[in-house]
Amino acid sequence: MSSEHNNPRNPIRIGSRGSQLALWQANHILYALRDAGYHVELEIIRTTGDRMQQPGFVPPPNLDGKGIFIKEIEEALEEGRIDLAVHSLKDLPTKLAPQFTLAAIPKRADARDVWVCEPYWALHTLPTGGRIGTTSPRRRAQILALRPDVTFVEVRGNIDTRLRKLEQGQCDALVLAAAGLDRLKRTESVHQRFSPCELCPAPGQGALALETRSPEHAIDEDRDTYIRNAIAFLEHPYTRFAIDAERTTLDALGGGCSLPIGAHCFHEEGKWKMVAQVVSPDGESMVQVETEATNDANPIALGNCVADDLKSKGALDLLNPVFSAD
Ligand SMILES: NCc1[nH]cc(CCC(=O)O)c1CC(=O)O
């Protein structure tokens, strides 16, 4: 590679999807790096997942739904068209391809799910048969466990689109991640934030992932080292611990975003605490684990321990109908 590519004054190129939330997140990192004195540029990349949200999209026959929001971004990273990808961590698969690494995990925002609804201020005040707009298998199962009488409607698209569909009356309420609404300052209809013990968030929810080429797959070793060093100050070790534990639990249960699994790890009173839930798709059966670990615990061991507890309580039986549904 030319020395021009290696020149630290060359901008760090951030790749991001073009949704409002993705742009907020990418700009958040861009400004942090600019404040630290780096020259940074943003490149917007359209992904298969974005195209799928357009009306009239016909899915290709080989589409498996995995990583549809990151494929084109990782290609740009691999080819050196961008240096850094900013993602919502929960949209990343638990295992990255060896070419890539999570070089930094910044401090997590509010990890909880929230209830978005104007007339009914909490899930328990929604009238019988109320229509909730969510396609997430985790949210559907967890909501049914609390309120077996509700119905669901397909409300897809980015946060703005979903809020507009709520306003238009296509559903009575939404359940969304607090982090997205907080970032976009769209919290006017948020009246309830679910406790993680009640509606356990998706592994990694509320956290960002700063993905780069892994050291072994550098395009130019000096420049790639420069990039990883530049973002190192954004690393938040407590968040890294929590997401390592949560993603380990998900992985041990065979997980991806289509499984009804919640996992949430946090540091409190000098200890690590973790809560995880597996719910049958109809909401009728649930296994839940709440555990604590000492300050010096290992996140992978904690995540595996939680997965083992869930399995010993029958979690895999609850997931069976989901695994065989394909
Ligand atoms: N699946 C889409 C997605 N990916 C990340 C967020 C919100 C931000 C976050 O969790 O970090 C959302 C929207 C939502 O679930 O409400």
> Does the beta carbon of 288 sit less than 6 angstroms from any atom of ligand 1?
no
pLDDT digits (tens, 9 = 90+) for 136-172: 999 999 999 999 999 999 998 889 999 999 999 999 9
Strands 84-88 and 151-153, sheet pairing:
unpaired
| Ordered alpha helix ranges (H), the chain | 3-6, 20-35, 48-52, 71-78, 137-146, 159-167, 178-183, 221-231, 237-252, 299-312, 315-323
Q: Which domains does the chain have, with CATH numbers?
A: 3-107+207-235 (3.40.190.10), 113-193 (3.40.190.10), 242-323 (3.30.160.40)
Whole-model pTM: value is 0.93
> Is there a contact between 88 and 191 (Cβ–Cβ < 8 Å)?
no
pLDDT score for 54: 73
Q: Encoding tokens for residue 151?
A: 């119905």
* Catalytic one of 35, 50, 83, 91: 91
The rounded Å distance from CA 178 to ligand 1 centre is 8
> Does the beta carbon of 133 sit less than 6 angstroms from any atom of ligand 1?
no
Mean pLDDT of 109-121: 96
Band the pLDDT of 294: cuts 50, 70, 90.
very high
Band the pLDDT of 229: cuts 50, 70, 90.
very high
The rounded Å distance from CA 206 to ligand 1 centre is 7
Question: Which atom, in ligand 1's list, is nearest to the CA of 202?
Answer: 10
Beta partners for residue 264, in sequence order: 275
- Atom 7 of ligand 1 has which residue's CA nearest to it? 180
**CA atoms in the 13 A half-sphere facing the CB of 187:** 15
The rounded Å distance from CA 88 to ligand 1 centre is 7
- Atom 8 of ligand 1 has which residue's CA nearest to it? 180
pLDDT score for 40: 97
The rounded Å distance from CA 176 to ligand 1 centre is 7
pLDDT score for 14: 98
The rounded Å distance from CA 193 to ligand 1 centre is 15
Provide, rounded to the nearest whole percent, the portion of the chain with pLDDT above 90.
84
User: Is 222 a known active-site residue?
Assistant: no
> Does the beta carbon of 180 sit less than 6 angstroms from any atom of ligand 1?
yes
pLDDT at 208 over 80: yes
> Does the beta carbon of 113 sit less than 6 angstroms from any atom of ligand 1?
no
**CA atoms in the 13 A half-sphere facing the CB of 32:** 17
> Does the beta carbon of 230 sit less than 6 angstroms from any atom of ligand 1?
no
> Is there a contact between 117 and 165 (Cβ–Cβ < 8 Å)?
no
pLDDT score for 3: 46
pLDDT digits (tens, 9 = 90+) for 23-72: 999 999 999 999 999 999 999 999 888 887 777 776 666 665 667 889 99
CA distance 138 to 175: 11
- Atom 15 of ligand 1 has which residue's CA nearest to it? 177
